[in-house]
Structure 1
Amino acid sequence: MLKKIALAASYAAIAFVIYRYGDAVLTWLQQTDNIPSVIAAATLMALFPVIPYPVVGGVIGAALGPVLGAAVTWTGSAAASILMFLFIRYGYQDWGRRALERYKHTRKLTALFERNAFLTILFARLIPFIPSFAVNLFAALSRMSFVSYVVASSLGKIPATLLFAALGDDVMTDPAGIVTTVAVYGIFLALSLLLYRLWKKKRPTAA
């Protein structure tokens, strides 16, 4: 129990520091060209999402351009999700599993998730309004393998990070392009949701 409390307190303390100096970090991101430092800062901002990560991705995209900005934003986001997965799995999985198995509904949901974990994580990452922390939490508390999580989560993050970086670059260079960027991503998202629903309908018959 003391270990869990210490881990939670450490996380809260770092989150407070990010909150206190978040604006300064965003300003620095707009001015620096040190890529490793930007990746480290992006990872911290994603790991402690006091400032919404789409804002961070937009700032990085505006500073570095859509391609490099997307690569840096994706690297930071993927690294943060992996670290959060490990933090929860090795700090709280035993406690979390007991909580999930306490109720029949959550037991069924967990079993369904574990049966289709890879595709569920992949599609969840494609939908930007699904909270990243919720995805990290459920995956870490499940029996999903670490490698499967890393691959599914990292692949699923690519479209959203491209969007954030492209929007940030559009704001600085071509504001009219924002409409096109959002429209393209909207079409992509609609197709992803359609594929996911088709997959869910077919899944029970295959079982």
Structure 2
Amino acid sequence: MIKKLALAAVYVAIAYLIYIYGDNILAWFQQANSIPLIIIMASIMALFPIIPYPIVGGVIGAALGPILGAVITWAGSSIASILMFLFVRYGYQEWGQRILARNKSISKITVMFERNAFLTILFARMIPFIPSIVVNVYAALSRVSFTSYTIASSLGKIPSMLLFAVVGDSVMSSPQNMPITIAVYAVFIAIALGAYRLWQKRGIVQHREVKQ
């Protein structure tokens, strides 16, 4: 219990510092010229999302351009997700699994999630209104392998991170192109969501056939 409380206290303390110095950090992104340092800072901002990460991605995109900005934004977000996964997996998994096991419905969902973890995580990352931290924590508390989580999570983040950087660059350089960018991404999300629903239905049908 002491270990869990200590980890939580460290997390809250760092989040508080980001809350205080958030404006200064965003200003630093606009003038920084060290790519490794920008990636590290982007990872920290994603790991402690006091400032919404789309804003961070937009600032980076505006400062470095859509392509480099997207790569850095994606790298920071992916690294942060991996660190959060490890943080929860090795600090809270046993405790979290006991909580999940208390509810039979959640237990059944978790079993289904673990059977189809790669595709579920991949599609969840592509849908921007699913909170990233929910995917991170739930995957860490489950029995999903670190490799499957890392690959699926990182691949699934590519479209949204590209959007954040492109929108940020468009706001600064070509605001008239922003509606087109958002419309293209909306179409992509609709396709991804439709594919996910079809995959879910197919999985349910196969499960019923096996059960019969």
Q: TM tier, shorter chain? A: over 0.9
- 1:206 CA displacement: 2.4
2:44 is aligned with 1:52: no
**Structure 2 residue runs without a partner (length 5+):** 208-212
Give 1:87-98 correspondences, 5 Å limit.
Answer: 87-98=87-98
2:33 is aligned with 1:8: no
- 1:205 CA displacement: 2.4
**Structure 1 residue runs without a partner (length 5+):** none
CA distance in 2: counterparts of 1:128 and 1:122, whole angstroms: 12
2:197 is aligned with 1:197: yes
Q: Which amino acid aligns with 1:181?
A: T
TM-score (norm 2): 0.97
Spell out, residue by residue over 1:161-193, the C-alpha distance to the aligned partner (whole angstroms, 9 max, x if none): 000000000001100010010000000000000
Aligned residue number for residue 210 of structure 2:
none
Aligned residue number for residue 79 of structure 2:
79
CA distance in 1: counterparts of 2:188 and 2:33, whole angstroms: 31
Q: Which amino acid aligns with 1:48?
A: F
SS across alignment from 1:176: helix
CA distance in 1: counterparts of 2:30 and 2:96, whole angstroms: 39
CA distance in 2: counterparts of 1:109 and 1:6, whole angstroms: 31
Moved over 4 A (4+): none
- 1:204 CA displacement: 2.1
Q: Which amino acid aligns with 1:46?
A: A
Aligned residue number for residue 35 of structure 2:
35
2:144 is aligned with 1:116: no
CA distance in 1: counterparts of 2:124 and 2:205, whole angstroms: 22
CA distance in 2: counterparts of 1:184 and 1:110, whole angstroms: 33
Spell out, residue by residue over 1:34-72, the C-alpha distance to the aligned partner (whole angstroms, 9 max, x if none): 111110110000000000000000000000000000000
- 1:32 CA displacement: 1.2
CA RMSD of aligned residues (A): 0.6
- 1:103 CA displacement: 1.1
